[in-house]
Amino acid sequence: MKLKSVIIKIVEIPMVSSFATSFGTITKKPTVLVKATTTNGIIGWGEGAALPFPYYKADTHETTYLALQKYIVPQALNIEFRTPEDFRELYSHNVIGHNFAKTAIETAIWMIYSISENKTLSKLLGGTKYKIPVGESLGIQSSVEETLAEVKLRKEEGYRRTKVKVKPKWDVNIVKAIRKEFGNIDLMVDGNSAYTLKDVKTFKELDEFNLTMIEQPLAHDDIIDHATLQKKIKTPICLDESILSAEDARKAIEIGACKIINIKPGRVGGLVESKKIHDVCKKNKIGVWCGGMLETGIGRAFNIAVSSLPNYKYPNDMSPVNIFYKDDLVKDSFVVDKNGYVTVPQVPGLGFEIDENKIEKYTKRESRFI
């Protein structure tokens, strides 16, 4: 196959409410879309859902757009490929980093591949599940009461685990309050790199609450200190920011930096790399789950497909799009059923119908390669 045209877009849907983490508060969430059309007329859409400011990783929506425009799309238009693996192989060796940009175009290629092979994304990726469990990711709220109300609401809706964002001085207190109110629910925290080894006392205190895991407590690019910390605490460490590739995963596992890995397609550069990380973890008996970057229904569709692989062992950050946004870019997006599961689509392609009118409506900027 070959691409005939590519359109890159920055799209922004208004948010329902802001999302606060230890690194800052997200009040606007532009995202980057790619529309790719092959010479035989198959269309694929992809998403690279970086944040608007470089406080999670270096990528932002602006750097993602620029990397696609300057370095990735011009090459992508020149290559012949059969599979997404071929496609990625052909340009990724000379573009370091820019993982969200790689994800935006590679997911569009997966959609094209799924249509041309007439097989579901889940099946092509090696998925074995027909439904996937969902947990909520709860931003830092303005009070303990608000947090408890939110946890209660999602629990009643069926969500299978609660993840709360923490930061120094908003950690032991909030975990204690949730345990007191809801007993032994599946509970975890996400530090988003806000701590250092000086905070061991806090982690020891958290150890008493039987958390399923603590996600990325230390620096965004660290594995050494995480290994030191893991030796001192019982709670399993789950790495998010620190893992950008299957090689990173192999090294982190080898030195004992984590017992679990959160795979986000955006962070690792796409589904090819997600699957490689999944496989390395499986071989080493490290369970994984799918995190999110507040994707629209387009990005979420790929996350759902990859979460159907066998070694995704924990509930995934897969809250429906309407929890965060006032609108969506697909018609009839997914829902969480009363038992906390999302159904994996069983049709080739994205699995959800693209709403081009909505995409037009929310487009802020675009660049066409035709």
Catalytic residues: 165, 264
Which 226-245 positions form the footprint of Mg ion (CB under 5 A)?
A: 240
Binding partner at 106 among Mg ion, ligand OSB, none, C-beta below 5 to 8 Å by kind: none
Contacts with ligand OSB, residue ranges (CB under 6 A) = 56, 137, 190, 192, 240, 291-294, 317, 319
Nearer to ligand OSB, 54 or 310 (CB): 54
Binding partner at 292 among ligand OSB, Mg ion, none, C-beta below 5 to 8 Å by kind: ligand OSB
Distances (CA, A) of 27 to 24, 196, 199: 10, 27, 29
Nearer to ligand OSB, 190 or 199 (CB): 190
* Binding track over 177-196 against Mg ion, x by CB under 5 A: -------------x------
Q: Which of 247, 307, 265 is nearest to 84 (CA)?
A: 265
* Binding track over 199-218 against Mg ion, x by CB under 5 A: ----------------x---
Measured between alpha carbons, how far is 332 from 40 in angstroms, rounded to an integer? Answer: 28
Binding partner at 293 among Mg ion, ligand OSB, none, C-beta below 5 to 8 Å by kind: ligand OSB
CB of 19 to ligand OSB, least distance (A): 6
Distances (CA, A) of 165 to 19, 122, 141: 10, 30, 9
Provide the token pair at 180. Answer: 């007191």
Measured between alpha carbons, how far is 213 from 235 in angstroms, rounded to an integer? Answer: 6
Residue 317 binds Mg ion (CB under 5 A): no
Q: How many residues bind Mg ion (CB under 5 A)?
A: 3
Nearer to ligand OSB, 120 or 137 (CB): 137
Question: E-assigned strands of the chain?
Answer: 3-12, 19-21, 24-26, 30-38, 43-48, 131-138, 161-165, 187-190, 214-215, 237-239, 260-263, 287-290, 316-317, 330-331, 341-343, 353-354, 363-369
